[in-house]
Structure 1
Amino acid sequence: MKQRIVVVLCLFWLFLSGIYGQNYQMKGTVIDRSTRQPLEFVNVLVVGLGTGASTDAEGNFTISKLPPGIYRLQASALGYKTVLTSEYRVNHITPHIQIEMEEESAALAEVTVTASPFRRVAESPVSLRVIGLQEIEKAPGANRDISRVVQNYPGVAFSPIGYRNDLIVRGGGPSENRFYLDGVEIPNINHFSTQGASGGPVGLIDADLIRSVKFYSGAFPANRGNALSSVLDFSLRDGDMERNSLKATLGASEVALSSNGHLGNKTSYLVSVRQSYLQMLFKVLGLPLLPAYTDASFKVKTRFDARNELTVLGLGGIDRMKLNFDIDGEDAEYILSYLPKIQQETFTLGSVYRHYAGPHVQSVTLSHSYLNNRNLKYRDNDESSPDNLTLRLRSIEQETKLRMENTSTWNTWKVNAGVELNQTHYTNDTYQQIFIIDTLSVYNYHTLLNLFRWGVFGSVGYTSSDERFSASLGLRSNGNNYSGRMKNMLRQLSPRLSLSYRWLKNWSISGHWGLYYQLPPYTSLGFKDREGIWVNRNLDYQSVSQGSLGIAWNPDSRMEVSVEGFYKDYNRMPVSMADGIPLACKGNDYGVVGNERLVSSGNGRSYGVEIMFKWLLQQKLNLSSSVTIFKSEFQDGTTGRYIPSAWDNRFIVNVSGTYNLPRQWSVGMKVCCIGGSPYTPYDEDKSSLVEAWNAQGKAYYDYSRYNTERLPAFGQLDVRVDKTFYLKKCMLGFYLDIQNVTGSKLRQPDVLMSMGEIANPEAPAAEQRYVMKSVRQESGTLLPTLGITFEY
């Protein structure tokens, strides 16, 4: 017996020795960005460790004896700008790293510029945050979902309900965001997306594929159009050209399998497949909706030679949402009365060809996106009779996009210009019962809309040799053949200007102003009335004039304190003819937004101030805290007074940090608080009508009292603990992510619902009313998640 114990202890000691005695290496190549030729005698350092190496005659470097972890590299050489790379994980399959360096102006011979993760770009010196691998992997409460990671940043509101990923940025609606994947535009980044808006219960992109994310809450680049509130620009990892690897992840809502490697000497690949068990999780939590999804993504990159490369990528998902009839309770009964069954299939396929010609880089991006959305609802969820049908929607959106652009760089100048073409095919077969004013109406129509869109853009940027001053001037314009108003590109002329100046040593002031335009959703452009007539032909592009001014203090390359004010002036907002509410105030629930009669007469504004503190200690601490104080309002078309929008939470507070402990342990914590949302009381008289209730299965709002009430503020605490084992040929990781540790309860408006009993059965059908009841609503529960990752 003692011998067995000794053997077990020896094996355990050997196991620990294999874990903690491992050292790894980083290999890479440094090249000139313009000539694509290797650079010799470049100093490459591991940030935070002081360990490094110099490149040889072929531009190659090797840094050995590195402990496992997540690192950045800094490359410096005489005559070149110092470069700080993205974050890379160092383990048994550390990828080969390629670093591109840009030749420095001769005027900077006597000046040393320190690389920093807080360095600004001329086109977006404000409102831009770069999210690295450490935050994506270990952000508390995010469960490796990029939409939830972004919610840690200033100006971004979060959904306290907990199972929605809507991005509400600087008081703008969830339909005002745009997403790009290695330069390819994707319609949405969430499963079960709300057609005509965004959001859903879980992200569509596997975090294992992401290298970094650029998050623009304003100051959008000219080559990123059709956005009013934010742009998320994802950079995916490249496959490893030296070895093939496999990674399995058991996350909060899904199990994932990913692989990366190479196919021959010129082509790398990256692929991921995920299958959810969210349906099981929601059933355990007692939620009335049971979503299940499958998604897959891939990236294949071929480098034909030093100057030509082709990237092909794809992203797709299959979504099925059932209703959970096995739970009791008035809350569940209410949601089940109106929530439809949802089925969706979505995918995007895209390719990017890039040619390097000295200081010029030409790229051609071609992509095709597809969304098939189906909603089905029967009164009382009784499908035994076709007479109970209240909603049947079959809608398909397809977009084929072509973008051609050229970027030229000459020392302190950068010029970008290009064109975009877009062919859209939108179909919609809808049967829907709607109770308008005092009449039950039935919409039964078919839409076939072919839309051709075009756009041109250009920008000129200047950065002084010492990087103290930068300026950028951009211009963009879009048009389409939907109507004569939208065809006129002068109506969508979109100028923008950015300026930044660093004074003293560590202080900088930056500003931006821009005029941006966005096309209304296809659900609105293709909507028909009961006579089958397109009624929204007079819609315009909606616009926002946005200005930002910020001051930043960087005491060193690891810390930043910033204060930024913003003002957004909305015009031509699509407004519902039925209730007088702007479309931007809708879209944070499941279903469809925009399929109604609209008019482009809305005006609004959002303004506030953001304060942020960021502290990065390599291999130790990643701390981020922010406070946002703002107002979001729209103008009443009748009285001209400003009314709080649906996103007018007034304040957002976030404090989030991860600290790395010895022996590959890390602990993270997030404290967040958000002001109470405004809400609209119900129209009890209209809601109790039998015909009205049966049409949509839920109460109607009294829009004459729109957002006159407000909920209390809400806050919660999330905690995460990670432990990683690095072995000789594999990596094993565990994490425990606990959301809402304190079990905070979110108070929601009491719901008004029917008891199914007619109070006056003797009255005519149009005057019959249900007996109604009010149900108290609150949500919020402690949600622990155990995650496991294994990489071989």
Structure 2
Amino acid sequence: MKGISVVLLTILFEISTNLIANENPKGSITGQVIDRDTKQEIVGAMVEILNEGVVTVTDIHGDFFIEGLNPKTYNLKISAPYYVTTYKTDVLVTGKQSTKIIVELKIASYETEEIIVSSERYFDKPNELVTSTNSLSAEEIRRAPGAVEDLNRMIQTLPGVTTATDSRNDLIVRGGSPVENFILVEGIEVPNINHFGTQGASGGPIGMINVDFLNDVTFSAGGFPAKYGDKLSSVMDVQYRNGDRNNFNGKVDIGIAGAGIILEGPLQKGKSSYLFSVRKSYLDLILSSTGLTAVPNYSNFNLKATYELSENHILTLIGLGGIDKINFKGFDEEADPFITSIDFSGWSAAGGIVHKWLIGNKTFLQTSLSTNMYQREVSEDSIGKPTFNNESLDKEFVLRTDLSQIFSPTDLLEAGFTAKFIQNNNTIFRAQALDIYGSILPELNYDAVAEAYKFAPYVQYSKNLFGRLDLIVGLRYDYFSYLSDKSTISPRASAGFYLLDNLKLNAAYGIYYQAPPLLWLVAYDQNKELKQMKTNQFVTGIEYYPVPDVKITVEYFEKQYSDYANSVLNPQVTYANAGAEYYTLGLEPLVPVSDGQARGIEFFVQKKLTNGLYGMFNYSFSKINFTSLDGIERPSSFDYRNVLTAILGYKMTNNFEISAKYRFMGGRPYTPLDEVASAQFNQTIYDFTRYNAVRYDNYQRLDIRVDYRFEMFGWALTSYLDFQNVLNVKNIEQIIWNQKKQKVDYIYQWKFLPAGGIKIEF
């Protein structure tokens, strides 16, 4: 595979460096400026390209258009009377397509206008997300070294976020399981945005969202307000850009793993548009002659279409989905037949309609009706005998509505509710077997349809006092019909105080509840007695802007967990450590007795792209412990203690840039192998008495990326090479018993791995 990758990368690089046209095309920026809370168009907003002497203003629809620009990256300054000045960085202009952006301005309170508006900075975040929040532009995500344009893998570089293994993009936020993450795509709730996702969790190995769809992404690692609910650890708010409202155009994307195409154009000339992409992997075709197994085969689509019913009513159609297939085979090289064979196939789809109603100058109502479905079929054979089969179809139908009402420049009321119908259709067979801790799992035959309802209203109020103090208080109610204890109430509050124009003190406290995934509740009747998992969260810190393009934050966080599901068969095992695996969870008796604590401190520095240089640095120290059914407190499987991530990039010319990422993580706790039992039964069995008692060696990895842009034959092309783990460090992922060699063995994380691709705009 390495040889094939190197040859393809060499070809891509030669094309990039040798076939460059002599023409000097010009590019353009098309955008819209709107009010962040009411989504009203802002007329007469001033849009300035910094250091270029180019200024324009928005028209009666809040639109602006700037043309005649040289292809390169620009920074914009957007200002309007009674609004806080905002900056849009990393606006990449090519010589073919118009660059589309959406800018939201925050209304300035009369008292704070002098304070905040005069304090220029290149960073922005929503008003209600006071603590632990960062926003990333599409270009920052696209060019991130080691991420290969995977949204989740870029989020992993933010403070407080780790992952369990290189082969997956799970988000482990401040010690929280991948089960605990909330994802919104253009106002639609999407449980999982990845291929080959774990049932009931939010991660997987490969992302489905096309980075070329993105306008920006906002991520909160804690302390989020009442409008975001039924999750314990994080909120990811994904905003797509609009398609081209005037012209048809497209982009072809060819990489090592697959190829895709993006098409966009107008539905109503100058008013409405569509944006559509489809992508297909071809690694299975390239590697079919090598005899390798476990090669992923997947395809996906993304869709956004907007239609303007009137000046005050806009419909948006959102779609996202994928098809997955993979086969794992383990065999004895000296004597057939296969020892173990695992087949996985499935599909997922999420989509809905969003109605945006601009009721008045100070009132906005957004309502969405959506659905998401995840179908999986997993079968496992051992020595030709079926040992496990899971045919599942998970469905959700969701009605969500959010109201924003501005009473004055210092007072904002937000209220809304979410109603869900959930259905889990599972046919499960599991043969009696020994699990990885040496306990006997009884045979399980389950075939049923489970249904449940959720209802969650919320209200929150934002107030500015004395020009320097921002307060947000909120209350949330969650109802889940499937549990015996159906209802919870979650009060939350946050505050931010400007000590200086560029120095802010933030704090947040709240109670958070999350219902267990329906799959955990259905296999055994006693599992219906599980409770809604709970955390009490406290976050405080400072936010400092020494210069406009640099942000420094220091935060302390504390999360108190309670009522987490715990295994009865293996009392040491808490489900707070689960969710970052491929196997099906919840197929055993569970009780809600696991408690835990996560606390730590995070230091974060980010420099936006100016003068050719950009980067970020974060270091965190944390301790995550859980107490299981046996009453013993142990380190969480996600307790890395020390995590350091650094990214540094430099644009050497308008067309050429190089970047690097270094990551260090402390050794992750694990349960050592019981070698005697593993040898006796010739399978992996861990020492149950030493659950999470030892740690792997420290993890480290260096990634380097090179981007090059050029024009050829009237097309705009972007090529990249991404070299992962260039030091070829052997990071251990897992200790196992090798059934073929009948000895202790190790599974390693990614070694040196080259990747690359090229995008062609037409």
What's the TM-score once normalised by structure 1's chain length? 0.87
- Alpha carbons of 1:637 and 1:442: their partners in 2 closer, same or farther (altered >3 Å)? closer
- Alpha carbons of 1:435 and 1:263: their partners in 2 closer, same or farther (altered >3 Å)? same
Note the alpha carbon deviations across 1:299-351, whole angstroms, 9 max, x for none. Answer: 11111222110111111111001125689699xx9xx8567211111101211
Per the alignment, residue 455 of structure 2 pairs with 454
Q: 1:197: Cα distance to partner?
A: 2.1
**Which of residues 553, 570, 581 in structure 2 aligns to 1:579?**
570
Per the alignment, residue 550 of structure 1 pairs with 541
Looking at structure 2, the residues matched to 166 and 14 of structure 1 have their Cα atoms a distance apart, in angstroms, of 39
Kindly indicate whether the alpha-carbon contact (under 8 Å) linking 2:705 and 2:723 is maintained by their aligned counterparts in 1: yes
- Alpha carbons of 1:106 and 1:284: their partners in 2 closer, same or farther (altered >3 Å)? farther
- Alpha carbons of 1:415 and 1:255: their partners in 2 closer, same or farther (altered >3 Å)? same
**Which of residues 687, 694, 709 in structure 2 aligns to 1:724?**
709
The structure with more strand, counted as a fraction of residues: 2
- Alpha carbons of 1:102 and 1:482: their partners in 2 closer, same or farther (altered >3 Å)? closer
Looking at structure 2, the residues matched to 702 and 738 of structure 1 have their Cα atoms a distance apart, in angstroms, of 37
Identity value in percent: 30
Per the alignment, residue 145 of structure 1 pairs with 150
Mean Cα deviation higher: 583-592 or 308-317: 583-592
**Which of residues 622, 641, 666 in structure 1 aligns to 2:657?**
666
Looking at structure 1, the residues matched to 326 and 753 of structure 2 have their Cα atoms a distance apart, in angstroms, of 21
Per the alignment, residue 469 of structure 1 pairs with 469
- Alpha carbons of 1:163 and 1:327: their partners in 2 closer, same or farther (altered >3 Å)? farther
Looking at structure 2, the residues matched to 377 and 789 of structure 1 have their Cα atoms a distance apart, in angstroms, of 39
- Alpha carbons of 1:583 and 1:58: their partners in 2 closer, same or farther (altered >3 Å)? closer
Is 2:189 the counterpart of 1:198? Answer: no
For residue 723 of structure 1, give the secondary structure of its aligned residue in structure 2: strand
Looking at structure 2, the residues matched to 286 and 158 of structure 1 have their Cα atoms a distance apart, in angstroms, of 30
Note the alpha carbon deviations across 1:239-290, whole angstroms, 9 max, x for none. Answer: 1111111101123422111111112334310101010134467889997522
**Aligned amino acid, residue 555 of structure 2:** E
Looking at structure 1, the residues matched to 39 and 671 of structure 2 have their Cα atoms a distance apart, in angstroms, of 61
Looking at structure 1, the residues matched to 132 and 530 of structure 2 have their Cα atoms a distance apart, in angstroms, of 30
Kindly indicate whether the alpha-carbon contact (under 8 Å) linking 2:273 and 2:306 is maintained by their aligned counterparts in 1: yes
Looking at structure 2, the residues matched to 79 and 750 of structure 1 have their Cα atoms a distance apart, in angstroms, of 60
Looking at structure 2, the residues matched to 396 and 591 of structure 1 have their Cα atoms a distance apart, in angstroms, of 16
Note the alpha carbon deviations across 1:182-229, whole angstroms, 9 max, x for none. Answer: 010111011101112232221111111111111111122322212111
Per the alignment, residue 481 of structure 1 pairs with 481
Note the alpha carbon deviations across 1:489-516, whole angstroms, 9 max, x for none. Answer: 2xx1111111111113322111111111
- Alpha carbons of 1:737 and 1:427: their partners in 2 closer, same or farther (altered >3 Å)? same
Note the alpha carbon deviations across 1:332-385, whole angstroms, 9 max, x for none. Answer: x9xx856721111110121110101221111111111111111101113x2xxx
**Aligned amino acid, residue 404 of structure 2:** T
Looking at structure 1, the residues matched to 291 and 424 of structure 2 have their Cα atoms a distance apart, in angstroms, of 37
Per the alignment, residue 722 of structure 2 pairs with 737
**Aligned amino acid, residue 273 of structure 1:** V
**Which of residues 152, 166, 172 in structure 1 aligns to 2:170?**
166
Per the alignment, residue 343 of structure 2 pairs with 341
Q: 1:777: Cα distance to partner?
A: 4.5
**Which of residues 348, 353, 356 in structure 2 aligns to 1:351?**
353
For residue 397 of structure 1, give the secondary structure of its aligned residue in structure 2: strand
Kindly indicate whether the alpha-carbon contact (under 8 Å) linking 1:375 and 1:591 is maintained by their aligned counterparts in 2: no
Kindly indicate whether the alpha-carbon contact (under 8 Å) linking 2:625 and 2:635 is maintained by their aligned counterparts in 1: yes
Per the alignment, residue 10 of structure 2 pairs with none
- Alpha carbons of 1:563 and 1:101: their partners in 2 closer, same or farther (altered >3 Å)? closer
Structure 2: gaps of 5 or more residues = 1-16
For residue 484 of structure 1, give the secondary structure of its aligned residue in structure 2: coil
Per the alignment, residue 385 of structure 1 pairs with none
Structure 1: gaps of 5 or more residues = 1-11, 383-387, 529-533, 757-771
For residue 396 of structure 1, give the secondary structure of its aligned residue in structure 2: strand
Kindly indicate whether the alpha-carbon contact (under 8 Å) linking 1:462 and 1:470 is maintained by their aligned counterparts in 2: yes
For residue 195 of structure 2, give the secondary structure of its aligned residue in structure 1: coil
- Alpha carbons of 1:281 and 1:212: their partners in 2 closer, same or farther (altered >3 Å)? farther
Looking at structure 2, the residues matched to 326 and 623 of structure 1 have their Cα atoms a distance apart, in angstroms, of 46
Looking at structure 1, the residues matched to 588 and 71 of structure 2 have their Cα atoms a distance apart, in angstroms, of 56
- Alpha carbons of 1:540 and 1:100: their partners in 2 closer, same or farther (altered >3 Å)? closer
- Alpha carbons of 1:98 and 1:623: their partners in 2 closer, same or farther (altered >3 Å)? closer
Per the alignment, residue 606 of structure 2 pairs with 614
Looking at structure 2, the residues matched to 608 and 273 of structure 1 have their Cα atoms a distance apart, in angstroms, of 41
Looking at structure 2, the residues matched to 110 and 648 of structure 1 have their Cα atoms a distance apart, in angstroms, of 44
**Aligned amino acid, residue 422 of structure 1:** K
Is 2:420 the counterpart of 1:429? Answer: no
**Aligned amino acid, residue 658 of structure 2:** V
For residue 704 of structure 1, give the secondary structure of its aligned residue in structure 2: helix
Per the alignment, residue 605 of structure 1 pairs with 597
Looking at structure 2, the residues matched to 73 and 57 of structure 1 have their Cα atoms a distance apart, in angstroms, of 20
- Alpha carbons of 1:155 and 1:252: their partners in 2 closer, same or farther (altered >3 Å)? farther
Q: 1:121: Cα distance to partner?
A: 4.3
Is 2:626 the counterpart of 1:637? Answer: no
Kindly indicate whether the alpha-carbon contact (under 8 Å) linking 2:119 and 2:501 is maintained by their aligned counterparts in 1: no
**Which of residues 392, 396, 413 in structure 1 aligns to 2:393?**
396
Looking at structure 2, the residues matched to 198 and 147 of structure 1 have their Cα atoms a distance apart, in angstroms, of 10
- Alpha carbons of 1:349 and 1:86: their partners in 2 closer, same or farther (altered >3 Å)? farther
- Alpha carbons of 1:309 and 1:377: their partners in 2 closer, same or farther (altered >3 Å)? same
Is 2:174 the counterpart of 1:182? Answer: no
- Alpha carbons of 1:119 and 1:236: their partners in 2 closer, same or farther (altered >3 Å)? closer
Looking at structure 2, the residues matched to 520 and 446 of structure 1 have their Cα atoms a distance apart, in angstroms, of 20
**Which of residues 501, 506, 509 in structure 1 aligns to 2:502?**
506
- Alpha carbons of 1:751 and 1:325: their partners in 2 closer, same or farther (altered >3 Å)? closer
Mean Cα deviation higher: 745-754 or 450-459: 745-754
- Alpha carbons of 1:538 and 1:38: their partners in 2 closer, same or farther (altered >3 Å)? closer
Mean Cα deviation higher: 287-296 or 49-58: 49-58
Q: 1:295: Cα distance to partner?
A: 0.8
**Which of residues 616, 626, 635 in structure 1 aligns to 2:618?**
626
Per the alignment, residue 763 of structure 1 pairs with none
Kindly indicate whether the alpha-carbon contact (under 8 Å) linking 1:180 and 1:186 is maintained by their aligned counterparts in 2: yes
**Which of residues 131, 135, 138 in structure 2 aligns to 1:130?**
135
- Alpha carbons of 1:100 and 1:441: their partners in 2 closer, same or farther (altered >3 Å)? closer
Looking at structure 1, the residues matched to 563 and 134 of structure 2 have their Cα atoms a distance apart, in angstroms, of 29
- Alpha carbons of 1:777 and 1:103: their partners in 2 closer, same or farther (altered >3 Å)? closer
What's the TM-score once normalised by structure 2's chain length? 0.90
**Which of residues 638, 658, 663 in structure 2 aligns to 1:647?**
638
Kindly indicate whether the alpha-carbon contact (under 8 Å) linking 1:283 and 1:324 is maintained by their aligned counterparts in 2: no
Q: 1:35: Cα distance to partner?
A: 9.3
Looking at structure 1, the residues matched to 666 and 341 of structure 2 have their Cα atoms a distance apart, in angstroms, of 27
Looking at structure 2, the residues matched to 30 and 748 of structure 1 have their Cα atoms a distance apart, in angstroms, of 47
**Aligned amino acid, residue 257 of structure 2:** S
- Alpha carbons of 1:363 and 1:79: their partners in 2 closer, same or farther (altered >3 Å)? closer
Looking at structure 1, the residues matched to 290 and 493 of structure 2 have their Cα atoms a distance apart, in angstroms, of 49
- Alpha carbons of 1:15 and 1:419: their partners in 2 closer, same or farther (altered >3 Å)? closer
CA RMSD in angstroms comes to 2.9
Mean Cα deviation higher: 27-36 or 72-81: 27-36
- Alpha carbons of 1:361 and 1:389: their partners in 2 closer, same or farther (altered >3 Å)? same
**Aligned amino acid, residue 81 of structure 1:** V
**Which of residues 494, 516, 522 in structure 2 aligns to 1:520?**
516
Per the alignment, residue 3 of structure 1 pairs with none
Per the alignment, residue 208 of structure 1 pairs with 212
Aligned residues: 736
**Which of residues 245, 252, 255 in structure 1 aligns to 2:249?**
245
For residue 595 of structure 1, give the secondary structure of its aligned residue in structure 2: coil
Per the alignment, residue 276 of structure 1 pairs with 281
For residue 529 of structure 2, give the secondary structure of its aligned residue in structure 1: coil
Note the alpha carbon deviations across 1:10-53, whole angstroms, 9 max, x for none. Answer: xx9996431xx33333344556775946623x421124545322
Q: 1:778: Cα distance to partner?
A: 3.7
